[in-house]
Every structure is written in structure tokens, then in C-alpha cells.
Chains A and B, each alone.
Chain A
């Protein structure tokens, strides 16, 4: 009756929307995105953008525009959409845009030739970079900061010798100094330096284009190396934890295989511990610093001591004070009571922390009892729960009926 196949259902070419690349991204993933969409090698697209850059920086401007407008693969909104979703961000970015335009106009009027070449595309691209940084998703942001952090002083990856690096820095600094001096000599930044600036810019871009691929490759290798290292460390931690807890428990289970109760208890204990480790590591500290932590301790103890499963559901949390501790102690008695007497396989505990009050419900679907005919030993427990609750200014209700289980409701106001 049961069939398992591994045949393939999808026929035809997969849909490839134009999205910025994620795995094949160096910076923003624009080239990678085009490569995926068109089925061309990324390198070719990058060369095209680099060549376009030679035409007054067009390539860079285009790249930045696509970066803003295209949605990153795996995300729902493009950067520009993200910016306009947040009013504050939108304002900041709009102000940036206006400032850029004003700057461009100012440059156009003061030294028209300065902006004739690379000036305004570069300024616009600079603004776009700013917008990208403001609007990028946190994931993309961490990708970018990792990218820039791992970019060393350009070239350190190429020659590891310190001497060479120092030499390069000296030469670079000397050149910059000389260039500034020359600029000053021919009449300063605002003088008739358009051609000089243009020449310099072309030169810089030329060098950048020549060396960028090689530099980026180095950077990428570094980044992936670092990621790999983090991954290995995480794996080691995980292995250590699994060894300490899971493996030990499994050995114990093998040893006590004959005793069903023990096996059950061990398995449950381990399950709870692993769950906590996986899903709420913040509650792992030994001294509970939260209300939920205190309740979790009840779950742990009741399951351990009575072999009864506890279904715990918590809504909200708070920092426990003395009153909350007394309150949880009352709940503990109720839970132990249910585990001991109800004969039910499981006990449900539900807690809710609200602004004005905290409630705990302990419920079992066990035998129940007749409230009017309680044996003396159990009357005592009910009494002690009630007394504690009235001390706290709260209330305790016990709903029970023979054959349909018991529910203890505890409610405490958060402030007296």
C-alpha cells in the first residue's frame, strides 16, 4: 500500500526571476544576479560592468542603481522598498539625496568642467552606497561588514612580508602627498584642475579595474576561511555537548533496559534537556532568574520524581521576587499532588503573566475526587495551597469531580 518514489515532477526550465545573487555575490550580488538570470558566467558580466565604468563611471552608477532596486534572493523587499517602509529611514535618505543634488549643482556652477567627467556619477554612486547601507537587511549588512572587515590594507594578502607592505604604504603615501602638492601648485581644488582630476580619476579606476578581481578573490578566500573556522568551532562545541549529555544518557538507558520506568525517565530527562539546549539556551543557568525558569524546575522535578509527563505551556515571563517564589511553591504542591494522586499519565501546567496578575493552572485528567469527602492527608495540602494564596492576596480554586480529573487554578495580583 505504501509507495515511496524519488522521481522528479518538475519539467521545463526553472523560473529564475532577476534577483541579486546571494551565494555568488562579492559586493551586492548584482552581477551574480544577472549571471543567474541570463545563464552567463559571472565573470563576463563583471567585465561588462568594469568596461562601462570607463565611460564616465557609468558602470558604477548602474551597479549601484541595480543594487538599490533589485531584491536580494531570499528576501522579500528591495533595499529601496525597505527604506520607504520606514518613515525615519526614508527621511534620512531623502535628505542625503537632496544634499547630493545640491552638491552637484554647486559643482556645476562653480567649476563646470569638474563635474563634466566622473564627478556627478561618482557623487550619485556615493549617495547610493549610503542608501544601501541604511536600507540593507541585517543579513546583508553583516555580509557587507564581514566583507570590508576582512579586506586588509590592499595587498597584504598578496605579499605577506611586512617589509613589502610598509614599502607599499610609504610609496602610496608619498604619491598622495605629491599629488596634493601638485594640485595646490596648479591652483587648488576649485581652480582649473578639472583635467587633472579627470586624469587622476581615470588612473585610479584603471588601477582598480586591473587589480580588483585579484583583490576580491583574495578577500573571498579569507572570508570563507573565517566562516569555515567558526563552523568547525561550533561543531566541536556541539560534539562536546552531545557527548556529555546524550551519549551518557544512551549508555545509561542501555544499562537499565530491563527497567521500563527508568528508561522512560532517562529518555524524558534527556529530551527536556536537549530541547532546552536547542530552543531556549537563555534559561540554562542553574539559578532560575525568571518565572518561567522556576516553573521549568517544577516540570523537571515532577517528571523525575513521579514519572509523570508534564505538559508545560507558558505565556509571558517576569523577574521573580519573594511573592512570585511563594506563588510557584504553591503551584509546585498542586503539581506534585496531581502527579501523586490523580493516576493520570500527564499533568498540564499553564502559566500566564499579565500586566496586573499571574495565573497558574494545574490540570490532570485523572480520577478526580469528591471535594466534600477528602481524606485528611489531602485536605492538608489543599489547605496549605489556599493559605499561601490568601497570604499573597490571590485566590485558589479547585475544580474536581470523580472520574473527570482535577484542575487547580491559582491567581495572584502582581502588586498588592
Chain B
């Protein structure tokens, strides 16, 4: 049953309909090793089976996807998480990324795109949806609305020009390959820029990021 070339995928979503929908779309291309509909069972089974990629629903009772992320990442750092959500609220996106997810896509993503995203996450890449790229640009904007931006750590609190260019192209709907062509760099370089943006997103203490994250944490 196990095909070593296929990534081992675990589904976490509290809606049976959504799980079966996703299963139908990706089952032929990946190896689904299990699924769960609540935080505790998900945590336990993910730790037990250590899949390559977990498709994680952001909104669930008992703390949602973030609770699973925290509980699993304490013990297991090889499993990677791709967050799935129906909402595009910036608070959701930013907080789940800051909790450790390596990518974020909305649930209306097409089957082939989802499979592609899973393979990229499994290979260690980062998956940014156009909208996520928009949020990041917004969050790291240099203050178009006249609010002063306090930069305490320039390495983490600011994006480089190149990173900005890459994010803009993602927001414009370009694939990594298109971006590489447009900027005449290699796809690997594009990936490394995106990874570095993800790192900044997770570690920066910029007001807007920590504010969004704590807002969600309190709820």
C-alpha cells in the first residue's frame, strides 16, 4: 500500500463532508495515512504515525488547528503542516503561520493545486497563496497610513526588496516557475526567498503580527 514516492498525508477537519471531499481529490496522488476530527485524537495519531504532511483545518472546537500544531510540534518536528481554511481573515492566516504551519491555502483550492501544494510542503518548501502574500505585504508595509513603524530587529522586521518583489508576484497570481522566469533567478532561489519570508513572519515581533496573533490566542 505504501508508495515511498508519495507523501504520507494526514487529514484533520471536524467536518466529515470536507474530509471526504479532500480525500476524493487527493487519494490517488498521495498516501493518506489517517484522519481525525478533533484536536486530541489528531495530536495522538499524528505523533504515532508521524506523517510527512498534515492538512490542518484552522477552525475546530477545543483550540482549533493551532492546538494541534502546538501539541505536535513539542515532540515531533519532522511533520509539516499545511493549513486549510474557509476564511481569509488575516488574523487566522497570520496566527496559524506563527504557530508553525508551513503554508496556508483556502478550501476552495482545486484538487490538482492542493496536491501540488502537498508535494511542495513535503519537499520542505513553503506554500503561500496570493492572499497570504497580500497580507504579508500589508503587515510589513512601511506605513502608507502614516503610522510609525517601530523596527527593533531589522533582520526580522523588514522585508528585503527581493522578497517584496517575490511576494508581489505571488499576489499577482504567478507560480514559482513564472516568478523565476520574470526575475531571471532560479526556482530554488524563489523558494529560499519565500522560506525566509515565512521565517520572518513567524519570528518578527512587528506590532501588527503579534497583535493579530494575540487577538486570536485570546479567543
Using CB atoms and an 8 Å cutoff, list the residues of chain A in contact with chain B.
1-10, 74-76, 139, 275, 278-279, 311, 313-316, 318, 348, 350, 352-355, 361, 363, 365, 407
Contact = CB atoms under 8 A, between A and B. Distances in A.
Nearest to B146: A355
Contact of A275 (B35, B36, B87, B173): B87
Q: Which 5 A-B pairs have the closest CB atoms?
A: A348-B173, A9-B44, A313-B134, A350-B172, A313-B171
B88 A279 contact: yes
A277 to B, nearest CB: 12
Given A10-B40, A355-B144, A313 B131 contact: yes
Nearest to A8: B40
B116 interface: no
Contacts, number: 88
A229 B216 CA distance: 24
B105 to A, nearest CB: 12
B218 A139 contact: yes
B35 A316 contact: no
Contact of B138 (A8, A139, A315, A407): A315
Contacts of B130: 311, 313, 348, 350
A16 to B, nearest CB: 17
A176 B47 CA distance: 67
- Interface bin, chain B: 35 or more
A4 B138 contact: no
Given A363-B174, A407-B172, 20 more contacts: A1-B1, A4-B37, A5-B36, A5-B45, A6-B40, A9-B40, A10-B40, A139-B218, A279-B89, A311-B173, A313-B172, A315-B137, A316-B144, A350-B130, A350-B171, A350-B172, A352-B168, A355-B144, A361-B172, A365-B173
Contacts of A278: 87, 89
Nearest to B219: A74
Contact of A350 (B36, B41, B173, B217): B173
B43 interface: yes
Interface in B203-219: 214, 217-218
B159 to A, nearest CB: 12
A137 to B, nearest CB: 9
B173 A316 contact: no
Nearest to A5: B41
Nearest to A6: B41
B155 to A, nearest CB: 22
A363 B172 contact: yes
B34 interface: yes
